[in-house]
């Protein structure tokens, strides 16, 4: 807990005021990632491999944008920084630990942007949500990655929608998930989507006790790769149950 508190404190002054309320979630994710490093290793490798495969063969490698860059464990950042002229990392929070790690690296072509990628505020204002519309102003854009972000958008939007009951359309969650997918498909450059699409709670006998669609009924594009992510192995949340997510990659 002391380490988490120090990371929170270090990140706070580096984060814009509108996004500081999300620091706690990012610190909790960092902590879980450390505890579950062995269980998450294959998922992180599969994510990095999918992104590398998607970027392979590009005629030009000028600017790459990573949406939901997070802890960078599932992003081949060293490869992207080496092969692209500029790499832009976009997320609500860039933890102090991530900033420190990047500053210790020899490349200086990585940029960090804080941004809400959900599109919620546009929809709340009665505008058509275009959460990825800002990418139209990124010069020399050749590659965009959505890195294990889409289900988190759905989760965050659902939580906010329920807290503001009656103020938003009933299909808010579905519309904003669909808007993200549409934004990716409309890009004039190559993209790579890595996202978990479903989860299951499984006991030690292999019996499934709970399942849910993390995309809330919105159909993703056909997958090029599919794998399982043990988000909470036995002992993380319960000694008797584990939580597994189904992950797809599309490029």
The 10s digit of each residue's pLDDT in 135-180 is 999 999 999 999 999 999 999 999 999 988 778 999 999 999 999 9
CA atoms in the 13 A half-sphere facing the CB of 160: 19
**30 within domain boundaries:** no
**6 within domain boundaries:** no
Q: For a pLDDT cut of 70, what percent of the chain falls above it? A: 100
**159 within domain boundaries:** yes
Domain that holds residue 245: 37-250
Compute the distance between CA of residue 113 and CA of residue 152 in angstroms, rounded to an integer.
18
**15 within domain boundaries:** no
Q: What is the pLDDT of residue 166?
A: 72
* CATH number for the domain that contains residue 64: 3.40.50
- Helices and strands, number each (H, E), in the chain: 8, 8
**32 within domain boundaries:** no
Q: What is the pLDDT of residue 163?
A: 87
User: What total of structural domains would you count in the chain?
Assistant: 1
**230 within domain boundaries:** yes
| pTM for the full predicted model | 0.95
Q: What is the pLDDT of residue 240?
A: 96
pLDDT tens track for 90-107: 999 999 999 999 999 988
Radius of gyration of the chain (CA): 18
**204 within domain boundaries:** yes
């Amino acid at each position: 807990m002391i380490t988490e508190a120090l990371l929170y404190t270090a990140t706070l002054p580096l984060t814009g005021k509108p996004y500081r309320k999300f620091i706690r979630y990012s610190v909790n994710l960092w902590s879980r990632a450390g505890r579950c490093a062995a269980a998450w290793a294959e998922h992180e490798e599969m994510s990095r491999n999918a992104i590398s495969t998607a970027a392979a063969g590009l005629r030009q490698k000028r600017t790459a944008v990573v949406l939901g860059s997070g802890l960078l464990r599932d992003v081949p950042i060293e490869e992207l920084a080496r092969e692209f002229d500029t790499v832009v990392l976009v997320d609500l929070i860039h933890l102090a630990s991530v900033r420190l790690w990047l500053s210790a690296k020899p490349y200086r072509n990585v940029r960090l942007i804080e941004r809400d990628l959900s599109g919620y505020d546009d929809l709340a204002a009665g505008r058509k949500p275009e959460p990825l519309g800002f990418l139209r102003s990124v010069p020399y854009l050749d590659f965009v990655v959505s890195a294990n972000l889409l289900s988190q958008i759905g989760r965050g939007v659902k939580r906010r929608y329920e807290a503001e009951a009656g103020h938003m359309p009933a299909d808010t969650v579905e519309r904003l998930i669909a808007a993200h997918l549409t934004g990716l498909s409309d890009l004039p450059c190559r993209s790579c989507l890595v996202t978990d699409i479903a989860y299951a709670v499984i006991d030690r006998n292999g019996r499934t006790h709970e399942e849910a669609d993390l995309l809330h009924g919105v159909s993703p594009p056909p997958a090029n790769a599919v794998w399982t992510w043990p988000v909470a192995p036995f002992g993380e949340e319960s000694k008797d149950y584990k939580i597994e997510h189904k992950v797809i990659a599309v490029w």
